[in-house]
Amino acid sequence: MFYKHIRRHSSAAKEVSMDNQDKKLLEFGEELLIDDKSGHHILFLSIIGEIEGHELASDRTKTTKYEHLLPLLAKAQDSRNIDGILLLINTVGGDCSCGLAAAEMIASIDKPVISLIIGDSHSIGVPLSVAPDYTMIAPTATMLIHPVRLSGTVIGAPPTFEYFKLIQDRILNFTAGHSRAKKEDLEEMMMKKGMMAKDLGTILVGEQAVKAGLADQVGGIAEALSWLHDAISEKKGE
């Protein structure tokens, strides 16, 4: 009877644990991956939809809330139970300031981190994608670089132009500092005409992003996890 009671208790605990994991996956796009062979614990985080920052997006918009993302990254850095991080990226961009804040935090993590672009990494998604130690892009995934835009009322005065340029330089400097791309090449891609009907900028698909220095390799989930396990093993001296 005692043994049966223990088994029921253990089963119930597993169900509660699974429920918590399912809730985290649904609410934050977070999952803890545990490899049976190596014993590595990898935190999987998805950055999808619009990067929601200081202003709320509409209820019908898929978003990644930076106030959720930052604590998850801090927890991953501080936890002894997490060996590395896999970021799955499919974003149309969003709040520049908050996206750049998240990118800075990703770049400061001292555990192996890899990003996998599967779909799109547009606008502020580019700094988020290059912030990790290694950037992988799916063959049909895209990266979009374009000038900074602001919504709402904009005053047409020289200080406004200087403010735009300041934000743009912050993004360019960060991207160049965390990738193989040069700042002047990024600026040229940002101001390119003719590729998009309603905007300036450049769209890079798969291998083009690697050649431009914004991604390290074309690949998918298997290649991304393989790189991450190797990086974790190297860091641990395994």
Same domain, 116 and 219: yes
Nearest residue to 92 (alpha-carbon basis) of 42, 142, 139: 142
Establish if 165 belongs to a structural domain. Answer: no
Task: For residue 105, give the nearest of 122, 82, 85, 88 by alpha carbon.
Answer: 85
pLDDT at 119 over 50: yes
Q: Is the pLDDT of residue 122 over 60?
A: yes
Number of folded domains that form the chain: 2
Residues 88 and 10 in one domain: no
Report how far residue 73's alpha carbon sits from residue 91's, in angstroms, rounded to the nearest whole number: 18
Q: Is 216 found in the same domain as 106?
A: yes
Structural domain includes residue 173: no
Closest among 237, 227, 232, 222 to 81, alpha carbons compared: 232
What range does the domain containing 5 cover? 1-28
Which residues are designated catalytic? Answer: 123, 146
User: For 57-108, how does the pLDDT look when each residue is reduced to its tens digit (9 = 90+)?
Assistant: 566 666 677 678 888 999 999 999 999 999 999 998 877 788 888 999 999 9
Asked if 228 and 125 sit in the same domain, the reply is: yes
Residues 87 and 114 reside in one and the same domain: yes
Question: What pLDDT, in 10s, does the model give residues 171-206?
Answer: 999 999 999 999 999 999 988 887 765 667 899 999
**Residues 22, 63 within the same domain:** no
- Three-point CA angle 113, 130, 211, nearest 5°: 120
Q: What is the DSSP letter of 61?
A: S
Residues 131 and 227 in one domain: yes
Same domain, 77 and 104: yes
